Amino acid sequence: MSLSRRALLSTLALAAPTPAFAQWPFGLGRRTPRGQEGRADYAGLPLRQQFGDWQFDQIRAAVSTRLQPVIRDGLEARFVQSLMDLPGVEAAMAAVAEPGGAVWTHTWTREPGRPPTRFAWDGLLETYTATAVLQLAQAGELGLDATIDRWAPDLPNARWITLEDLMANTSGLPDVALATAAGLPPTFAPGAAWGASEANPALLRQVLEATDQTPWAQALSRRIAQRRDLVETDFGTADGGVWASALDVVRFWRDLLGDRLHGQDITRRRFYRLHPTGTVPGDYAGLGVRVRDLAAEGPSPADTWLFYEGAAPDAPAMVAYSMARRATVAVVLRGTGAADPVARSLLNVLPST
């Protein structure tokens, strides 16, 4: 390229109007300098560009239809076949909600017997907890910029870690139990990188208890299950997490994306700052939510998932909204296997919209 042509293109680029996403209240997801020496600008991989308002409007329309139970032989056959390919799975449950409101659910067991009505959804507790804390923020009872020294002053960098850092996994707390984290050095400066830590959601549950003045399981039950009539959802059971039917998990995810658990601004804020997790190509993390660009994995149908998953070795689980099919799927397994391929298999039965 000639020097004159390069100069012309540079001039045009500087004169171009600011992209719409840069005018959003949360910008490109990069942190505003706080003047705090304990914090750092994000130094990880490039953040994903956020969704546009029109995409959120489309999602909201797709998840706001009235659900009507249906029989789907094609989904059931695909579900069973997917599980037969996973010999380590003992039992499984799935549900799929289509954009028109048709909802299918099925429970499968390898051995004959009465199938369970609820499963443990490992990992999804983080999403439920973040949802309750964001409700408190919307009500003005908490600030997402509040630092955690109010609740846990002994944790490393407590004066610089915010509640939003806990939800986004950008706190830098070591990936250990909360009781152990105080005695260990941080893995990075707050806001400088992304790194999952079991201490983050554990501390959020403590914040929820302190603010609501009730055990976190009761707070989640009142704020989520009772509010949305999720009668097949329990919190704080033997494994300390979420026990629910696949249908209730689908309903929860639709309620979250449809602005029925918190306001529209809060829903969209959860996806404004998306950090690459480095675990799977095209996988990004927001505030208790994930986004996966399936095209980043190689030759595959163009689709983007708004999802969350649990990866316990004996209880993998996933809930996802497919933007290509405008459908919501939830899958949970008991035994060894992966929920991701089962969810993909079920979504592939549905047509793209």
Tens digits of per-residue pLDDT, 81-111?
A: 999 989 999 999 999 999 999 999 999 999 8
- pLDDT value at residue 50: 85
Task: From 213, 232, 251, give the residue that closes a domain.
Answer: 232
Specify whether 345 is located in the same domain as 263: yes
Angle, CA of 91, 121 and 58, to the nearest 5°? 110
Is residue 212 located within the same domain as residue 305?
A: no
Residue the block writes with tokens 């020097």? 3
Query: Domain for residue 6, yes or no?
Result: no
Identify whether residues 283 and 319 lie together within a single domain.
yes
CA distance 325 to 305: 10
Q: In this model, does residue 33 exceed pLDDT 60?
A: no
Q: Which residues pair with 107 in a beta bridge?
A: 93
What is the distance in angstroms between the CA of the first residue and the CA of the last residue of the chain? Answer: 42
The residue count of the chain comes to 353
Taking only the tens place, the pLDDT of each residue in 200-245 is: 999 999 999 999 999 999 999 999 999 999 999 999 865 569 999 9
Q: Are the C-beta atoms of residues 147 and 134 closer than 8 Å to each other?
A: no
Mean pLDDT for the stretch of residues 303-328: 93
Question: What whole-number distance in Å separates Cα of residue 145 and Cα of residue 283?
Answer: 25
Residue type, 341: P
| 37 is a domain residue | no
Residue 61 identity (one-letter amino acid)? A
Q: What is the pTM of this model?
A: 0.89
User: Domain of 133: which CATH number?
Assistant: 3.40.710.10
Residue 224 domain flag: yes
On whether residue 49 sits in a domain, the answer given is no
271 and 347 part of one domain = yes
Instruction: Give the pLDDT band (50/70/90) at residue 299.
Output: low
Count other Cβ atoms within 10 Å, centred on residue 351: 9
What's the average model confidence in pLDDT over 327-335? 97
- The pLDDT confidence band at residue 317, using thresholds 50, 70 and 90, is very high
The verdict on residue 9 lying in a domain is no
| Higher per-residue pLDDT: 246 or 27 | 246
Helix axes 246-257, 125-138, angle to 10 degrees: 30
Domain membership of residue 175 (yes or no) is yes
Does 98 share its domain with 128? no
- Nearest-CA neighbor of 105 among 77, 69, 81, 80? 69
pLDDT at position 347 over 60 = yes
Q: Which of 172, 203, 232 is the last residue of a domain?
A: 232
Residue 35 lies in a domain: no
Residues 307 and 207 in one domain: no
DSSP 104-127: EEEEEESSSSPPPS-EE-TTTHHH
What residues contact 278, with CB distance under 8 A and at least 6 apart?
A: 45, 194
Contact 326, 62 (CB under 8 A): yes
Rg from Cα positions in the chain: 21
Residues 31 and 75: their CA atoms lie apart, in Å, by 44
Q: Give me the residues paired with residue 330 across strands.
A: 95, 319
Which tops the pLDDT comparison, 258 or 295?
258
Q: Are both 87 and 134 inside the same structural domain?
A: no
**Alpha-carbon torsion (308, 235, 327, 73), positive or negative:** positive
For residues 128 and 227, membership in a common domain is answered with: yes
Which of 173, 199, 232 finishes a domain? 232
Judgement on whether residues 85 and 228 belong to the same structural domain of the protein: no
Q: How crowded is the C-beta side of 222, counted as CA atoms within 13 Å?
A: 13
Which ranges constitute the DSSP H helices of 51-121? 53-62, 73-84
60 and 164 assigned to the same domain: no
Claim to verify: residue 71 and residue 209 sit in the same structural domain: no
pLDDT at 30: 34
What domain count does the chain have? 2
User: Based on the domain organization, do 172 and 78 belong to the same domain?
Assistant: no
Residue 204 lies in a domain: yes
Distance CA 234, CA 244 (A): 6
Beta bridge partners of 184: none
Residue-number span of the structural domain to which 72 is assigned: 56-112+241-353
